[in-house]
Structure 1
Amino acid sequence: MENSIKKIANPHIVDLIPYQPGKPIEELARQLGISDIIKLASNENPLGASEKAMLAAKKALETLYLYPDGACFELKEALSRFHHLPFNHFTIGNGSENILEIIVKSFLMPGEEAIISQYTFATIPLILKSFGANIVTIPTQAWQVDCKAILNTLHAKVKMIFIVNPNNPTGTYVSKSNLELILEKASPETIIVVDEAYNEYIDAEDYTDALPYIEQYPNLIVVRTFSKAYGLSGLRVGYAISQAQVADILNRTRLPFNVNSIALAAATASLNDQAHVEKSKALNDRGKKKLTEGFKKLNLNFIPSVANFVTVHVGEKALDIYEKLLQKGVIVRPLVGYGMGEFLRITIGTEKENARLLSALGEVK
């Protein structure tokens, strides 16, 4: 029966390997029967959501019997004010993954080519494969996106370019000059998607986000999320920023009521609490310094990161170290699925969580 079902399934789907998220705390508790667990696996904000977002979410519970606003009006209005861009430049999604899927569904036909960088956000190739796209993977240079190689690969069949900036899982970034080079040289008929999930954490001098180029390049789509610095991972809210003509296409593809009312309320309120984002960034900066100093003391190499995680080289026993950390109630992220089997990605946590991670890692490495 299983083989017969596979025969009638979409051929693009049959061979897909499902995305493996960071292990949930509840799952580890069930497996090991322990309760003292910290999760440093999914790049969540250790401070959680802001108080304003929590209060808005609670208020939204009063109207759970009603469908959410399918147009996401209040959130779009808040984003328009926050980013100083027109209301019709925004598309709202159920997390940035939903936005990425909407983009591919809207602009990419089966058999058309999409360029991605090696070691990039694993959901992107998964979405592309599910829609039958031909993926062109550009090798990195010292863990950096090789922008010149991307440009050398461009031809008429390339319909889409994905740049994750800052990049996950490496924590590296594309400089302003390289971003501008891609925007200038790519065909106007090639959609350029810049995923900026970790934008709030970076302060490198030669970095710029892509928003200043929106009005200049009609083929540019910027993707943002409320899951990281805003601490709303559990509610799933992301959005795209583009010119109005692009947003019009994306919103034709977006399914109705794709974001629930609690998520919309919390996201809208969180934009009005930038103090929480600044506090989260400051905690992350301190934690990154503590972790990287600790990795050096443990003689562990790591990829310098501008995000809210650090990817550490622990050698060929990475999975064994990962399992031993689980036994100590510490969840990190193995990167076998990214082709980085000797690395672990570690989210920057609170001061106490970082200290516990370093202690546990020193015991098991």
Structure 2
Amino acid sequence: MAQLDGDAHRARRSDDAAWALARAVAPVRALRAYDPGHDIVALRRGFAPSALLELGSNENPYGPGPRAREAAAAALGEIHRYPDPLAGELKRALAAHHGVDAAQLVMGNGSHELLMQLAQVFAGPGDEVLVPEYGFAVFTIAAHAVGASLRRAPAFAPGAAMPRGHDLDALCAAITPATRLVYIDNPNNPTGTWFGTTAFARFMDAVPDDVVVVVDEAYAELADAADFASALALLPRHRNLVITRTFSKAYALAGLRIGYAIANASLAAMLERVRESFNVGLVAQAAAIAALGDKDWLEDTSQRNREERARLAAALRARGFTVAPSQANFLLVETGAATPRIEAVLLASGIVLRPMAGYGLPASVRITVGTAADNARLLQALDALP
């Protein structure tokens, strides 16, 4: 077959794109794919391993604990086998860890998959999905993918210079008779902010029973604020509450993709109807079980993150930046009109931050909290900016 020249190739691609768009269902035609911020794989090819500082994806810079590493290595000998389709041993370990019944757990290939499935099960055309103004990007994708209407609630506290993440009163006021699903995250991504236990309990008491509330607690293990607590304690009182968690952040198993949802057992059974078969791999299950048992390692790395988070935030504020309070392993930093220049100069030197324009915060960047050496390198690069 003769190779197409440049113009012909572009025309063919355009025609193919139009053809594929016409084949897709209406909700998908209007959908935008998840934006990871940068092509990190391409960046890794362009820099030596020690030269690239990845501070854009909120990964644990200390890596997984020794027990998880050993379990993953041991499981490699069985990768010609399918994993347990029910993840029974992992569910039992999680049930014991959280004090719930195994029937309340649904496993996911990362929590992203579960957030998508929750919309698939509980919303559709003619329904409303309510999200905060500055919440996790997947919430919006999930709503649009099933053809539901998206409704946003404002996220600014009165008189605040930075977004608070969630205004629970505003979220409650935004619920309508068409609302079927509410997504929130605590601590919030991308702001790092959080809401307190008492405020959330009051919110849940006000939400109608036929509205499913999803609280994504991807960063819960890293929080230490006196007023922060998991929503798990409210599960017995509210059958419409779902909590999602992940092993990607504090447990440092992002590359294995393991998430889970905790809910009323009947609600969890509905999610099981759309769960993909064998969706959590054999190596992932083994590593996750081992990681749950390595409590000393988890507390050690989480504490190091908290200490570095405080140091980095103080250092950035000392340099004149506005930094949102955070209970996660990242900071939302207001960098103003210089944001594009800061991002470009740092990227050219091998320091990757997360652009925030896609979240509606073009004058800010999100910075993953690294090790002490990582953070020192970042600050030195900021000090050297022209």
Tell me the TM-score normalized by structure 1. Answer: 0.97
Q: CA deviation at 1:35?
A: 5.2
Q: CA deviation at 1:155?
A: 2.3
Q: CA deviation at 1:11?
A: 1.6
Q: CA deviation at 1:25?
A: 4.8
The 8 Å contact of residues 140 and 150 in structure 2, kept in 1 or not, is answered as yes
Q: Report the counterpart of residue 201 of structure 2 in structure 1.
A: 180
Q: Report the counterpart of residue 19 of structure 1 in structure 2.
A: 34
Q: CA deviation at 1:218?
A: 0.7
State whether structure 2 residue 280 is matched by structure 1 residue 259: yes
Structure 2 counterpart of 1:275, one-letter code = D
Give the whole-Å Cα distance in 2 for the aligned partners of 1:89 and 1:151: 26
Structure 2 counterpart of 1:126, one-letter code = I
The 8 Å contact of residues 29 and 35 in structure 1, kept in 2 or not, is answered as no
Q: SS where residue 161 of structure 1 aligns?
A: strand
The 8 Å contact of residues 32 and 327 in structure 1, kept in 2 or not, is answered as no
Taking only aligned residues, the RMSD between alpha carbons, in angstroms, comes to: 1.4
State whether structure 2 residue 326 is matched by structure 1 residue 305: yes
Q: Report the counterpart of residue 362 of structure 1 in structure 2.
A: 383
Residue correspondence of structure 1 range 214-229 to structure 2 within 5 A: 214-229=235-250
Q: Calculate percent identity across the aligned residue pairs.
A: 36
Q: Report the counterpart of residue 135 of structure 2 in structure 1.
A: 120
Unmatched tracts of structure 2, length 5 or more: 1-14, 158-162
Give the whole-Å Cα distance in 1 for the aligned partners of 2:67 and 2:194: 31
Residue correspondence of structure 1 range 54-65 to structure 2 within 5 A: 54-65=69-80
Provide, for residues 209-240 of structure 1, a one-character-per-residue CA deviation record: whole Å limited to 9, x for no partner: 11011111111100000000000001110000
Number of matched residues? Answer: 365
Q: CA deviation at 1:105?
A: 1.1
The 8 Å contact of residues 108 and 259 in structure 2, kept in 1 or not, is answered as yes
State whether structure 2 residue 101 is matched by structure 1 residue 86: yes
Q: CA deviation at 1:347?
A: 0.4
Structure 2 counterpart of 1:282, one-letter code = Q
Deviates more, 1:141-150 or 1:210-219: 141-150
Q: Report the counterpart of residue 235 of structure 1 in structure 2.
A: 256
Unmatched tracts of structure 1, length 5 or more: none
Q: SS where residue 107 of structure 2 aligns?
A: strand
Give the whole-Å Cα distance in 2 for the aligned partners of 1:319 and 1:13: 31
Structure number with greater Rg is 2
Deviates more, 1:350-359 or 1:137-146: 137-146
Q: Report the counterpart of residue 363 of structure 2 in structure 1.
A: 342
State whether structure 2 residue 353 is matched by structure 1 residue 332: yes
Q: SS where residue 253 of structure 1 aligns?
A: coil
Q: SS where residue 325 of structure 1 aligns?
A: helix
Q: 1:7 aligns with which of 17, 22, 28?
A: 22
Deviates more, 1:315-324 or 1:52-61: 315-324
The 8 Å contact of residues 107 and 258 in structure 2, kept in 1 or not, is answered as yes
State whether structure 2 residue 221 is matched by structure 1 residue 206: no
Give the whole-Å Cα distance in 2 for the aligned partners of 1:106 and 1:251: 10
